[in-house]
Amino acid sequence: MESEDTTFTGVVGFIVHGINGQMLIPLLAVILLIISFFAKIPGGAKWAGLILLLVVIQVLLGLFSSGIPQLAILHGANALALFAAAVYAGRRVGAHSQVPAEPQNA
């Protein structure tokens, strides 16, 4: 990538990863934070804020890891933490929104 040699077959994947990571995912994290204030899920705004914080850290690690290669391992570890936080927040919403089944009169 740094030599601008585009003969590498996976170069498009790096481009898509960069665009998604720097534009799309941060936008979705901000939208999640905004929606969390209206969702009435206990602790939802806290978890959405944590996800936004982890996304900001992820973007910064991605940007600075080209100059400091040792940050690349933190980029991967933070990605796992971000995934775990998003799954946990999603499961909290699912657990909160479950409606008990009404008994059927036979």
CA distance 5 to 70: 24
Q: What's the sign of the alpha-carbon dihedral 20, 23, 24, 30?
A: positive
Q: What is the pLDDT of residue 95?
A: 74
Q: pTM score > 0.85 for this model?
A: no
Residue 43 has pLDDT above 80, yes or no: yes
pLDDT of residue 101: 60
The per-residue pLDDT for range 52-106, each reduced to its tens digit, is 999 999 999 988 888 888 888 999 999 999 999 999 998 888 777 665 666 666 5
pLDDT digits (tens, 9 = 90+) for 51-61: 999 999 999 99
* Mean pLDDT along residues 14-43: 90
| The predicted structure's pLDDT at residue 18 | 84
Q: Compute the distance between CA of residue 77 and CA of residue 89 in angstroms, rounded to an integer.
A: 18
